[in-house]
Amino acid sequence: MNDKDNEDWILSFYRFSEITGALFFGRLARVLPPSEIQRDMTKHFADESMHAWYWTRALDELGKKPVHIGDAYQDQYLESVGIPTNIMEILAITNVFECRVIAQYAMHNRVPDLNPVITSTFDTIMTDEKWHIQWIGDALKTLEPKFGKEHIDATLDRYRKADKEIYGKIIVEHEERIEHILDVKKKNSSGETSD
């Protein structure tokens, strides 16, 4: 495992996750009835698609090619928790996805001496991600009269537990790679050599 392999894999992982998200939200936007939720879901879909492009462009600017990733972690949610059966469940699982993305990007963005291409990509994407969480939270509030606040909260808790388990299994390699990058940067800044 070296710095180049780690960075190539991580940036490709982000790119693939954004592509997967764009396809998911695009399908939803296509079938939802006209409403504020459909409007915001359409914007969300467009954002995710652009995020995939931003990571593609970043890889290109860094002289890298995307690495084949396989299955996205989102794919395993359906196996674990089943297909969402209504708009509230769709928004709840989306909220959990988006919170996960922001946490992961924030962790990576704290890597010392991060390439400005990567920092700029994070900065651009994070603005959209914050809006995603905001609009989904607002939409879930509008659904409280129909589904009940307690039921929505319980659904969010169920998806958070599934997220912790699923993401925990899949992302081990990712966290090891980021930790490796952090260790290398620390060694380099203290004058030690990296492998």
pLDDT of residue 24: 87
Residue with tokens 């790679």: 177
Q: Mean pLDDT, consecutive 10-residue segments, the chain of 195 residues?
A: 71 91 90 93 96 97 88 67 86 90 87 92 94 97 98 95 80 64 52 46
- Are 166 and 77 a contacting pair, CB within 8 Å? yes
Mean pLDDT, all residues of the chain: 85
Say if 194 falls within a structural domain: no
H-only helix segments in the chain: 3-31, 36-61, 75-81, 87-109, 116-142, 144-147, 149-170, 172-189
Concatenating the DSSP letter of every residue in 53-78 gives HHHHHHHHHTT--PPP--S-TTHHHH
Q: Which domain holds residue 109?
A: 3-189
Residue with tokens 């599934």: 162
Say if 64 falls within a structural domain: yes
- Are 101 and 17 a contacting pair, CB within 8 Å? yes
Say if 66 falls within a structural domain: yes
Q: In this predicted model, what pLDDT tens digit does every residue of 67-83 receive, in sequence order?
A: 887 766 666 666 777 77
Number of domains observed in the structure of the chain: 1
- Are 95 and 42 a contacting pair, CB within 8 Å? no
51 Rama class: left (phi>0) / alpha (psi -120 to 50) / beta: alpha
Say if 58 falls within a structural domain: yes
The Cα diameter of the chain in Å comes to 60
> What CATH number is associated with residue 20?
1.20.1260.10
Say if 122 falls within a structural domain: yes
pLDDT of residue 107: 83
Say if 115 falls within a structural domain: yes
pLDDT of residue 194: 41
Say if 128 falls within a structural domain: yes
Say if 195 falls within a structural domain: no
